[in-house]
Structures are given as C-alpha cells and as structure tokens.
Amino acid sequence: MFKRQSAVFIATCLLVSATLMVSAQSDDTLRLPEEKHFRNMRQLTFGGDNAEAYWSYDGKSLVFQRTSMKDGIPCDQIYYGKLPKKKNRPFSYQLVSTGKGRTTCAFFTKDDKHIIYASTHLGSGDCPPVPDRAKYGNKYIWPLYPSFDIFMSDLKGNIVKQLTNAPGYDAEATLSPDGKLMLYTSDKDGDIELYIMNLETGSEKRITYDLGYDGGAWFSPDGKKIIWRASRPKSEAEVKEYKDLLAEHLVAPTNMEVWVANADGSNAKQITTLGQANWAPSFMPDSKRIIFASNHEYKRGFPFNLYTMNGDGSNLTKVSRDKGFDAFPMFSPNGKKIVFCSNRNNGGTRDTNVFVADWVE
C-alpha cells in the first residue's frame, strides 16, 4: 500500500530533528469552554497522524509515534523531543526508531536515556500491509503483525537490546514506576494476553487467561495496580468472529471495557459496562482515579472523548468536549500536566496532533 522509504530519507531523519512552528493561538482557541480541567493548552505537532505521546520519568520530554505521507513517513515511526521551557519556543523532535517497517507504543526507561518500542523492521523494511476492511464488512480492524517485537534503543536511535523474540505479535509495552518491570501484550500462546517481564533477568509471566483481547496496559503511579482495555466475546457468534480474525492476525477492537487488577494480575475485575470502545485507560496521579477515552455516548462510534472515573467505575465524568477524537491521555509524573492526542484544530483534515495542558482539579 505504501512506497518504501528511501535510504536517504531514513539516514536524514536519524540525524536531523524536525522542527515545526508553534501556533500563536490562545489557550481559549484550543480549549473548549466546557473543558474546565484544562488550562494553558498548547499544540505541539502540526500535521500528520501523531499519537501515543508519553512522558519521560523526569517530565521533561515526550516520545510519540508519527505518520505523515507528505513528509515521507508512510507508516508509524517513533520520535522523541524535549518540551520547550519557554512558551514561544517550538517543540523540536527527532527520529529514534529505525525508520524501517512499522512501529508502535514507545515508552521511556527509568534513566530517561533509552526508550522501548515495538517494531516490525526485522520482518521487513517495508510498511506492512493494512487489512482490507471491506473483506470484513467494513468493520474497524487492527492488524496484529507477527513481526512485531519489542526493542530498547538509546535516544540516538541505536538499538541496544531486543526484549522479545517469540513468534507472533509482541507490542503495547509500558514500564512500572521503578522501571524494573515491562507490561506488554502478546499472542504467542494463541490468544491476545498480558505478560509482565523483569527487564534485568528477562523472566516473565502471563497474567491474563480469559478469551479476548487484553492490551494497552499500564501500572498505577504507586506501582500497586494495573489497568488495561479488554474485549470478552460471549455469544457463539462473537467467539467465532474473534477466533476467525485472530487466525488471520487481526482483531476488531470495537467493543472494549476497562479492567483493573493488582500489579501481579491477581483480583482482576471489569470496572466499566458502557458498551462500544472504552480504551487508552491510565491511572491518575493519586493511583485511585482513572482517565480513559470512550465513544460510548455515540451509537455511530464517533466522537471519542476523555472521561474520568473512580477506581471502581463510579462517578463517570466527561472531561473533553471536542467533536472529533481525543485519546491517549497521560499525566506528567508530578501530576500537574496532561498530554493527549486530538484531531481538534486540524483545519478539517484527518490530522491528529499532540497537545499538552495544565491540569486543574
């Protein structure tokens, strides 16, 4: 579907950071009046599809994935940049993945000198093909590329370690607050499950066992709990569809709920029953409340907005009011700022960009 990136482009991206001019818009232009928890909102990227932007442990940098056809980036690659200290300075970033294949789900290590991310580059330097959704009734389908493995690289793009090598999909990794444990998703045992790996020893254990997709998992800031998104097909028809798609390395993530458990996977429980897609959940700074993205208010499956709730699913509160897509929320380590991705202010295009704002209780 996409043309292969040229070697010249890859080499250039590895050496040169991309700098985009910062809009002079006011906070009120980007933040809707109902969005009372946001202040001093700032747009960091301008154009393309920018998603899954996550903080460094020191709260000074962001890592995110980016696709931009007009810039010669045909499928997601990982970029890193330091947040400017002054309001009117641009957000500059540079490529830290290989520039080959497709990447996803980057996360800083505890020393803030390395990142982990998943990539298909060992399978092929080309972008892997996207599913033909017409074949599946035009449903929203995610590919589970078997060539995805998880790697650790330094901030110059040098891979220092391959963390997974089992056949099948290994991706969606995050780290514990102390940086010692990696929580990730894999289908290596025949279903899409969660695993915890000790980064020092490489030892790991599987922590989910129910049929269905388990992914996008995070530790709470205090390290005592985990949270993730999950599908649980129940009827015979749902189970058949899930297994048929899985056999083709695909999943339809249109019906997901939020789950929580103890950090070792024990005492797992579903805490939302909202219907449709409830995903990208993470704990708020107090390790008690939760923020997540959902389309449950809209039968057509769009828009997606951000919501908060208590750890048991109660006190559901709508946070963002955009008429498009707001997702991937993450609080800064000090709890004062939030980063998320949105297609607000995109001039009517399909662009998704990274936004950061002060958080006001």
Lowest mean pLDDT among 185-189, 270-274, 301-305, 307-311: 301-305
The string of pLDDT tens digits covering residues 151-166 is: 999 999 999 999 999 9
Sheet with 290-294: strands ordered across: 278-283, 290-294, 305-309, 317-318
* Per-domain residue ranges of the chain: 7-28+49-323
Share of the chain above pLDDT 70, in %: 92
Confidence of residue 88 (pLDDT cuts 50, 70, 90): confident
Nearest to 228, CA basis, from 246, 207, 203? 207
Q: How far apart are CA 65 and CA 77, in angstroms?
A: 5
The runs of H, that is alpha helices, within the chain are 7-15, 27-30, 236-247
- Return the structure tokens found at 18: 């991309």
- Tens digits of residue pLDDT in 252-287: 999 999 999 999 999 999 999 999 999 999 999 999
Architecture of the domain delimited by 7-28+49-323: 6 Propeller (2.120)
pLDDT at residue 9, as a whole number: 36
Q: In this predicted model, what pLDDT tens digit does every residue of 223-255 receive, in sequence order?
A: 999 999 999 999 999 999 999 999 999 999 999
| Residue 70: exposure state from Cβ atoms within 10 A (0-12, 13-18, ≥19) | exposed
For residue 19, pLDDT over 70 is answered with no
Grouping H, G, I as helix, E, B as strand and the rest as coil, residue 242 is helix
- pTM, to two decimals: 0.91
Which residue, 95, 94, 92, is CA-closest to 22?
92
- Cα dihedral 284/287/288/289 (nearest 10): 10
| Confidence class for position 6, pLDDT limits 50, 70, 90 | very low
- Mean pLDDT to the nearest integer, 327-355: 97
Q: Which of 142, 149, 185, 183 is nearest to 167 (CA)?
A: 149
Tell me what pLDDT residue 27 has: 58
Closest CA to 102 of 129, 81, 62: 129
